Amino acid sequence: MDSPWYLLLVLTVALVQPTSGGHCQNGWAQFKSNCYYFSSIDATFKDAMISCISIGANLLEFHNKREEAWVDLQIKHRGYAKGVWLGYSDIQKEGHYVTMSNAEDLGYQNWHEGEPNDWQKNEHCAAIHFQKAGWVDYHCTAKYNYICKK
Ligand SMILES: [Ca+2]
């Protein structure tokens, strides 16, 4: 007949694994020790930032190339068509991009060639651009998808 101990073990593993294998809430994806929320709507840079802060996270800031590669796959999987905001801006000092989370200089960077170019002196927010490889500066009132990270 059935083996109760075996069934108990299977059930225990099934129940325990989601919490021990990952700590992200429902609706968040995990990469390394961080959790990511991928927006289903477009928003301005400011609204995207506020939205992330309201759920206890920050607008996406990249730690390194591997993280960006993972995010790129997630973006393609979700079919984002325009762009994705990054938590970097030079609003405080033109040409000096800093993180929105703590106003630090950027470590890892992946600007598209010739960017940031402050086109028409009106681009102060960073985004991943899909037609170009890498990041661009863009006007902050554009509406893009966004990713919150915590
Ligand atoms: Ca630009």
Whole-number Å distance, alpha carbon 116 to ligand 1 midpoint, is 5
Structural domain boundaries, residue 47: 24-149
Q: Residue 131's pLDDT is what?
A: 78
Domain count, the chain: 1
Q: Which residues surround ligand 1, an ion (CB under 5 A)?
A: 117, 119, 123, 136-137
- DSSP symbols for 90-141: -SSSTT--EETTT-PBPSS--BPTT----GGG---EEEEESSSSSEEEE-TT
- What was the pLDDT predicted at 21? 55
Look at residue 55 and tell me if it is in a domain.
yes
Q: What are phi and psi of 89, to 5 degrees?
A: -155, 155
Domain-located, residue 2: no
Residue carrying the six token digits 């970097």: 88
Give the span between the Cα atoms of 99 and 108, in whole angstroms: 11
Residue 75 lies in a domain: yes
**Does residue 132 lie within any of the structural domains?**
yes
pLDDT tens across the length of the chain (150 residues): 555 555 544 444 444 444 445 799 999 999 999 999 999 999 999 999 999 999 999 999 999 999 999 999 999 999 898 899 999 999 999 999 999 999 999 999 999 999 999 999 999 999 998 877 899 999 999 999 999 999
In this prediction, residue 81 carries a pLDDT of 85
Cα of 134 from ligand 1 centre, angstroms: 11
Q: Starting from the edge strand earliest in sequence, which strands make up the sheet with 135-138, in order?
A: 98-99, 83-89, 125-129, 135-138
CATH number at residue 126: 3.10.100.10
